[in-house]
Chains A and B, each alone.
Chain A
Amino acid sequence: MSTDLATVTDLVEKFLAEHPPASTDDQVLRGARFDAGLAYPHFDQGFGGLGVDPTLSPVVERLFLDAGCSDWSSRNVIGLGMAAQTVHTHGTPAQKTKYLRPLFTGEEIWCQLFSEPGAGSDLAALATRAVPDGDEYVLNGQKIWTSLGHMARRGLLVARTDPDQPKHRGLSYFLLDMTTPGVEVRGLRQITGQAEFNEVYLTDARVPAADLLGAVGDGWRVAMTTLMNERVAIGRRGGGRGDGPIGAAVRAYRKAVAEGRADAADRDRLLQLWTRVEAARLTNTRAAARAGQGAPGPEGSIAKLQFAELNKAVFEFAVDLAGDEAMLIDDYTFSRPGASSASHAAQDVRKAYLRSLANSIEGGTSEIMRNILGERVLGLPGEPRIDRDRPWKDVPRS
């Protein structure tokens, strides 16, 4: 393990010497990095990796960031956090060759076409249809909450190929070219005034059968890979002790003390948050070390749940410290951010607070996370379900 770490570190240093970040075009550098197996070191050779232990990948990313390389984790959040792992796990060699490199270089931004107006927490109930027609499928339906849909070249799409099967069994997973005719992206304005999300309307859009990821009818299993990685990607953000929103809260507290706006209870409230954030960070470190090989497990749901609840609490505290400024906002002007702000403090703390309210909804609500922890980690019985074994078309919908 430590030998691997030393070897990989050595490779990164040699690579950086040959491609100095200061004088190398970002896209060129990332392409070369992919070819050198230093994009996702735990992926297979030839697909951006070296086949090493997955715990080394974040270490390598850190080395590149520390050397001054650009951070794409928010600009291509779906691509890097979810699409790459899903394509690498379930893709054919041809699919991996076609998609992984431009994803990593940033030439192709990805989005996720999972949720629908009628399928949120109950994702498997989704109604978008994919009907085979020759060597293509014809798509009809509506997707929602599509981050970066307006920037994306490609989308991870789950659609129903067999409505006569129970809901989990009739789904298939596609890699959709967002420039396909019949794909329409409309901004969805959120409570911050911005439109970071989109609605995506699919009207007789045609996707080649070659862009099926996994087998027909196996879409739910493939989607699970995406969702597990999503929770890990959301939950495991942030670096060292005191980084991120809690660091901003500490600064806000210092400012409030200096300006005479804090009271004694604020200090203890800050420390209550600080200790919970630090405990969550250590739990993530422990889970990452334990995960070792293989796919992320349900413990990713602990990280996701804690990230969401703590982010909300920390920003609420920061707004409380803002005094009368808490009654104001910078502006609600409509805009379309080019990067996800899911875990990032917006410049304006009040806007960051408003944005944080989605944290316990997006990527699986906190209630769903608690169900997963209760059922899959603790082994408690599931809710009685009336839809599990009935054909999807016979299940009542709102």
Chain B
Amino acid sequence: MSFTPGPEAEELRAVVRGFLEKRCGEVEIRRWMETEDGHDPAVWRQAAGELGLQGLAVDERWGGSGASTVELGVVFEELGRALYGGPFFGTVALAATVLTELDDQAAQERHLPGIAAGDTTASVVWGGSDPLTSTLRADRDGAGWRLTGRAEPMVDAGLAGLLLAVAATPDGPGVFAVDCTGPVEGLTRTALNPLDLTRKLAAVDLAGVSATAVGVPGEITPALTRALDIAVLALSCEQVGGAARVLEMAVEYANTRVQFGRKIGSFQAIKHKCADMLVAVESARSCAYHGIWAAAHDPAELPIAAGLAGAVCSESYARCALDNIQLHGGIGFTWEHPAHLDLKRARSSRRLLGTPGRHRARLADLLDIPEVSA
């Protein structure tokens, strides 16, 4: 059995990497960091129109390509490598995945074609640290629902045209769609100052916002859990891409910088750090690839595979990003050097969908490893 992405996925990777190198280099990333929406809408439309990236894993009925999580994962790896700043994570990893997994045909028909075409940006929001226990509340209002509560910090939620809110109902958690293309009564969105300037975060206040249920509230937990596992794997792939890029950066510098009359990479203190980074990158890559393979081919394995990737990939990226700064010395501490961009992305994405510690605790539960009673 091989869970490594196959030749087709690798072809896709080459196309995506070429596109990102051309349209999304460090100069562009830095320019977008200073803007409100964090990206260039022309690049976004090109990604959708020419490459079909937003609709890659969307069903063909809704204008997508119906590709598997393996191809999707490879795309996220490349986006992570490039530190792409657009609302791709919220729109594709979160919103499109939730819509696909919840399998509510009416909601899919309404929202997925716009996402696949690059016309709609979207995200998923929840209150508290875990979507499955979201502190947002949904109350019935005739045929619809009204949402109350505060969600922060939420990725890509500030300017999204569609918000999918996970909220508690008396029957259990539900997912509720809020169309934000025009003004929405009771909805206040506040842009936050993100540690990672390449990823926009917002606080979302809901004061009786009118919303439509996606799927049946109280019955969506298994589908939402699957969707979140897939989102964790997309994030893990991003982290693999970032970690691998950071290692390349470190090795390139160690092969160039001369001190004491030698390239610093010839010193074991530096060389061994790079070797440990390599092990971290390969460990993360194995877990992420195994995860996206399992999501496509062995769904029963998905929860453990996602928990493993969630536990390993964040740690690997954060460690590599940190070591990369140390290895660069003073230059790595400057604003002009890209090392801090990866460190900030790594530190921030470590919390985005659960800390490594929370993923480990979930894994322990899945593996039936008992807790210590207090």
A-side residues, CB < 8 A to B, are 242, 250, 253-254, 257, 262-264, 266-268, 270-272, 274-276, 278-280, 282-283, 285-286, 289-290, 302, 305-306, 367, 369-371, 373-375, 377-384
8 further contact pairs, Cβ within 8 A, besides A285-B286, A373-B278 = A242-B367, A250-B369, A276-B312, A289-B2, A369-B275, A374-B272, A379-B255, A380-B266
Chain A nearest Cβ from B65, distance in angstroms: 26
A268-B361, A279-B284, A283-B282 given; A263·B372 CB < 8 A: yes
Interface of A is mostly: helix
Which residues of the partner chain A approach B278 to less than 8 Å between Cβ atoms? 302, 373, 377-378
**Complex Cα–Cα for A381 and B272 (A):** 12
Chain A nearest Cβ from B328, distance in angstroms: 15
**Complex Cα–Cα for A264 and B247 (A):** 34
Question: Mind listing 18 A-B residue pairs with CB under 8 Å?
Answer: A242-B367, A254-B369, A271-B311, A275-B287, A275-B308, A278-B308, A279-B283, A282-B287, A282-B289, A282-B290, A286-B286, A305-B275, A306-B279, A370-B272, A373-B274, A374-B274, A380-B254, A380-B271
Query: Is B308 touching A375 in the complex (CB atoms < 8 A)?
Result: no
Which residues of the partner chain A approach B262 to less than 8 Å between Cβ atoms? 381, 384
* B276 at interface by CB-CB < 8 Å: yes
* B268 at interface by CB-CB < 8 Å: yes
**Complex Cα–Cα for A272 and B3 (A):** 23
Which residues of the partner chain A approach B272 to less than 8 Å between Cβ atoms? 367, 370-371, 374
Binary A-proximity of B259-300 (CB < 8 A = 1, otherwise 0):
000110110101110111011001111110110000000000
Q: Which residue of B lies closest to A55 (CB)?
A: B2
Q: Which of B1, B283, B284 has the most CB of A within 10 A?
A: B283
Query: Is A280 touching B255 in the complex (CB atoms < 8 A)?
Result: no
Which residues of the partner chain B approach A253 to less than 8 Å between Cβ atoms? 369
Query: Is A305 touching B286 in the complex (CB atoms < 8 A)?
Result: no
Query: Is B372 touching A279 in the complex (CB atoms < 8 A)?
Result: no
Chain A nearest Cβ from B302, distance in angstroms: 14
* B370 at interface by CB-CB < 8 Å: yes
Which residues of the partner chain A approach B367 to less than 8 Å between Cβ atoms? 242, 250, 274
Q: Which of B1, B262, B271 has the most CB of A within 10 A?
A: B271
Which residues of the partner chain A approach B357 to less than 8 Å between Cβ atoms? 268
Tell me which of A250, A285, A286, A370 contacts B271 (CB under 8 A). Answer: A370
Query: Is B263 touching A381 in the complex (CB atoms < 8 A)?
Result: yes
Query: Is B4 touching A289 in the complex (CB atoms < 8 A)?
Result: yes
* B363 at interface by CB-CB < 8 Å: yes
Which residues of the partner chain A approach B270 to less than 8 Å between Cβ atoms? 380
* B251 at interface by CB-CB < 8 Å: yes
A289-B4, A380-B266 given; A271·B369 CB < 8 A: yes
**Complex Cα–Cα for A262 and B4 (A):** 38
Kindly identify, within residues 286 to 344 of chain B, every residue whose CB is under 8 Å from any CB belonging to chain A. Answer: 286-287, 289-290, 308, 311-312
Query: Is A275 touching B370 in the complex (CB atoms < 8 A)?
Result: no
Which residues of the partner chain B approach A370 to less than 8 Å between Cβ atoms? 268, 271-272, 275-276
Chain A nearest Cβ from B300, distance in angstroms: 13
Query: Is A282 touching B286 in the complex (CB atoms < 8 A)?
Result: yes
**Complex Cα–Cα for A274 and B304 (A):** 12
Tell me which of A263, A302, A371 contacts B282 (CB under 8 A). Answer: A302
**Complex Cα–Cα for A62 and B289 (A):** 25
Which residues of the partner chain A approach B312 to less than 8 Å between Cβ atoms? 275-276, 279
The number of residues on chain B lying at the interface, defined by a beta carbon within 8 Å of a beta carbon of chain A, is 43
Chain A nearest Cβ from B286, distance in angstroms: 4
Q: Which residue of A lies closest to B267 (CB)?
A: A383
* B360 at interface by CB-CB < 8 Å: yes
Chain B nearest Cβ from A289, distance in angstroms: 4
Query: Is B283 touching A276 in the complex (CB atoms < 8 A)?
Result: yes
**Complex Cα–Cα for A268 and B359 (A):** 10
Q: Which residue of B lies closest to A272 (CB)?
A: B360
Which residues of the partner chain A approach B311 to less than 8 Å between Cβ atoms? 271, 275
**Complex Cα–Cα for A377 and B247 (A):** 12
Chain B nearest Cβ from A269, distance in angstroms: 10
Q: Which of A257, A266, A370, A379 has the most CB of B within 10 A?
A: A370
A268-B361, A374-B274 given; A384·B266 CB < 8 A: yes
Which residues of the partner chain B approach A270 to less than 8 Å between Cβ atoms? 364, 369
Chain B nearest Cβ from A297, distance in angstroms: 13
* B371 at interface by CB-CB < 8 Å: yes
For the complex of A and B, 4 pairs with smallest distance between CB atoms? A374-B271, A380-B265, A282-B286, A370-B275
Which residues of the partner chain B approach A272 to less than 8 Å between Cβ atoms? 360
Tell me which of B2, B4, B255, B374 contacts A380 (CB under 8 A). Answer: B255
Query: Is B372 touching A264 in the complex (CB atoms < 8 A)?
Result: yes
A263-B372, A267-B369, A271-B361 given; A280·B265 CB < 8 A: no
Kindly identify, within residues 76 to 92 of chain B, every residue whose CB is under 8 Å from any CB belonging to chain A. Answer: none
A381-B255, A381-B266 given; A268·B360 CB < 8 A: yes
Query: Is B308 touching A279 in the complex (CB atoms < 8 A)?
Result: yes
A272-B360, A302-B278 given; A283·B265 CB < 8 A: no
Query: Is A279 touching B287 in the complex (CB atoms < 8 A)?
Result: yes
Tell me which of B266, B282, B308 contacts A382 (CB under 8 A). Answer: B266
Which residues of the partner chain B approach A375 to less than 8 Å between Cβ atoms? 271
Q: Which of B251, B278, B289 has the most CB of A within 10 A?
A: B278
**Complex Cα–Cα for A275 and B247 (A):** 22
Query: Is A271 touching B363 in the complex (CB atoms < 8 A)?
Result: yes
Query: Is B251 touching A378 in the complex (CB atoms < 8 A)?
Result: yes
Which residues of the partner chain B approach A266 to less than 8 Å between Cβ atoms? 372
Which residues of the partner chain A approach B308 to less than 8 Å between Cβ atoms? 275, 278-279
Query: Is A379 touching B268 in the complex (CB atoms < 8 A)?
Result: no
Q: Which residue of B lies closest to A275 (CB)?
A: B311
Query: Is A371 touching B283 in the complex (CB atoms < 8 A)?
Result: no
Which residues of the partner chain B approach A278 to less than 8 Å between Cβ atoms? 287, 308
Chain A nearest Cβ from B125, distance in angstroms: 29
Which residues of the partner chain A approach B275 to less than 8 Å between Cβ atoms? 305, 369-371, 373-374, 378
Chain B nearest Cβ from A267, distance in angstroms: 6
Q: Which residue of A lies closest to B373 (CB)?
A: A257
Query: Is B251 touching A275 in the complex (CB atoms < 8 A)?
Result: no
Which residues of the partner chain B approach A371 to less than 8 Å between Cβ atoms? 268, 271-272, 275
**Complex Cα–Cα for A286 and B272 (A):** 23
Which residues of the partner chain A approach B282 to less than 8 Å between Cβ atoms? 283, 286, 302
Chain A nearest Cβ from B309, distance in angstroms: 9
**Complex Cα–Cα for A369 and B360 (A):** 29
Which residues of the partner chain B approach A280 to less than 8 Å between Cβ atoms? 283
Which residues of the partner chain A approach B279 to less than 8 Å between Cβ atoms? 302, 305-306, 373
Q: Which residue of A lies closest to B286 (CB)?
A: A282
Q: Which residue of B lies closest to A287 (CB)?
A: B282
**Complex Cα–Cα for A314 and B59 (A):** 45
Q: Which of B265, B287, B371, B372 has the most CB of A within 10 A?
A: B372
Chain B nearest Cβ from A279, distance in angstroms: 4
Chain B nearest Cβ from A227, distance in angstroms: 17
